Chain A
């Protein structure tokens, strides 16, 4: 599990900032937002994920295969990391997550008893957080991706070269339908340009194009990857 034949640190390493507030006794109110960067074998992914439940929208009903539950209360802001050793790349991870549920990295059931430090362990990952948090809570939450952008290391370097800001934002501009089919009228996905900011300029076009898909039911997921990242990710997961 922890061994990588190439001698590299195995799996995906997520570094993130987290804001969290919530509490409940079965029914509850809970909000967790994480933004950060995931490092893997082939590149980097900027991601924002949210887990939000409240009394009327918390997936507690009969027949739910994915119950969300919060017992206790806690809140705060933190920074942390999660090491996931079940997948080689974010691409492989999210592809699989798509078929059942998301979870980056707050998806695992966790017990938090935090006053500064939090630790969560599941069969797939290990999470460590450090910050201003207080409370005690047991939670079982699923997380949905607000947006993620995955680039290869080479492409991420191109973005870095366009900006003088450390850890500059990756934004998306000019989102367009991607058409397919013989008549070219069926929307089979979307494309967008990756933008970044510098101290003097906003929305600098990096020239990198990323793509997002649509599932059989017509739902998009806001998960964007460059073609190179997708190809290399597939190879790495084989």
Chain B
């Protein structure tokens, strides 16, 4: 009698274990399917927005554009670019340094106000990597086309010369 009860208990425990293992795999599969679907829709939505490019082009020179990922720095960013527009090329800034790559397309999500635009760009323009930066740039700098190759090459040459000088 006691042996039979013990065997029944062991069988119940084994069934419970199988149940929990199966439950774990079902939850894991559902979680990954759900997350994959959500991520797919999320990126589809981003990539449905207008493609733009973000770089400075003045007097035959291409320069990088500062981007903020925190709206707390909004006023500082706008103030920096307003000073630059007035010709103060050495204006200072106090927010974290981050710039948008020249030739990578950005998706324009919208405008926070007339001077600040929200953009998303993907690391190395690899849309499948799901590795992106979402931030805000000075809206007057947004362009519809990538920078001309000739200006990019010119910039690269100057930069390499300057790096060599510093090293």
Contact B28 A25 (CB under 8 A): yes
Residues from chain A with a CB closer than 8 A to the CB of B36 are 27
Known: A56-B39, A57-B132, A186-B63. A220 touches B162 (CB 8 A): no
B36-75 contact mask (Cβ, 8 Å, vs A): 1 or 0:
1011001100000000000100110111100000000000
A7 part of interface (Cβ distance < 8 Å): no
Closest to B66 in A: A220
Bound-state Cα–Cα, A181 to B61, Å: 10
Of residues 181 through 216 on chain A, the ones whose CB sits less than 8 Å from some CB of chain B are 181-183, 185-190, 211-214, 216
Tell me the nearest residue of chain B to A193, going by C-beta.
B92
Question: Known contacts A64-B126, A175-B93; is A59 also within 8 Å of B131 by CB?
Answer: yes
CB pair A61 B130 closer than 8 Å: yes
Instruction: Please give me the residue from chain A that is nearest to B161 by CB atom.
Output: A180
Interface residues of B in 81-104 (CB under 8 A from A): 89-94, 96-104
Q: How large is the interface on A (under 10, 10 to 19, 20 to 34, 35 or more residues)?
A: 35 or more
- B163: A residues at CB distance < 8 A: 188, 213
How many chain B residues have a CB neighbour from A under 8 Å? 47
A-chain residues with CB within 8 Å of residue B166 when the two chains form the complex: 211, 227, 230
Interface of B is mostly: mixed
Q: Which residue of B lies closest to A64 (CB)?
A: B129
CB A189 to nearest CB in B, in angstroms, measures 8
**Chain A residues whose CB sits within 8 angstroms of the CB of B126 once the complex forms:** 61, 63-64
The smallest beta-carbon distance between A114 and chain B, in angstroms, is 22
Establish whether residues A25 and B162, one from each chain, have CB atoms under 8 Å apart when the complex forms.
no
B130 and A58 contact, CB distance less than 8 A = yes
A residues whose Cβ falls under 8 Å from a Cβ of B: 25-27, 55-64, 66, 146-147, 173-177, 179-183, 185-190, 211-214, 216-220, 222, 227, 230, 234
Known: A185-B61, A186-B155, A214-B99. 9 other contacts (CB 8 A): A59-B131, A64-B126, A66-B129, A173-B92, A182-B158, A185-B63, A186-B162, A216-B159, A218-B62
